[in-house]
Amino acid sequence: MAKGLNKVMLIGHLGNDPELRTTTSGQSVANFTLATNESFKDSSGNLQERTEWHRIITWGKLAEICNQYLKKGRQVYVEGRLQTRSWDDAKSGEKKYATEIVCSDMQMLGGQREQGSGQSSNENNSQGYGHQENSSTTLSQTTSPSVPMLENEKDDLPF
């Protein structure tokens, strides 16, 4: 039998600063919201825009990095999987549900103006989080930070 696929890829803007917490077992977890926009023409031919809000959860080192570098308004690419949780509301006794994206990879997009933290790309690079020419930084929950690439090594890349 074939395996299923649960994969989400989004590009949007943070609706709030990440909120970092630590579980009782010492695991870091950060939550934030991400807004994605869609433009379309309605039946009258008028241009409409719709915003969809997504709940994002990151764990471990990626949660700590998100908390440190992401700020409200920053454009990011997130990749992960959908997860739905349920619980019983303490006041009403009703069953409540929340669908969220458990983020496994995150890439900061946009230039220095959108960084929010006020750090330059070179400062991010000096901390070993990898730097690309388009001022984007890729971070993954499964990869550890790498040593920054020297300027003369960039010429040896095949792409």
DSSP, residue by residue, 16-47: S--EEEE-TTS-EEEEEEEEEEEEEE-TTS-E
Question: What confidence tens digit (pLDDT) does each residue in 48-94 have?
Answer: 999 999 999 999 999 999 999 999 999 999 999 999 999 998 899 89
Percent of the chain exceeding pLDDT 70 equals 69
Q: What does residue 123 show for φ and ψ, rounded to 5 degrees?
A: -65, -40
Question: What confidence tens digit (pLDDT) does each residue in 97-113 have?
Answer: 999 999 999 999 986 55
Characterise 31 by phi-psi region: left (phi > 0), alpha (psi -120 to 50), beta (else).
Answer: beta
Angle at 140 between CA 108 and CA 131, to 5 degrees: 50
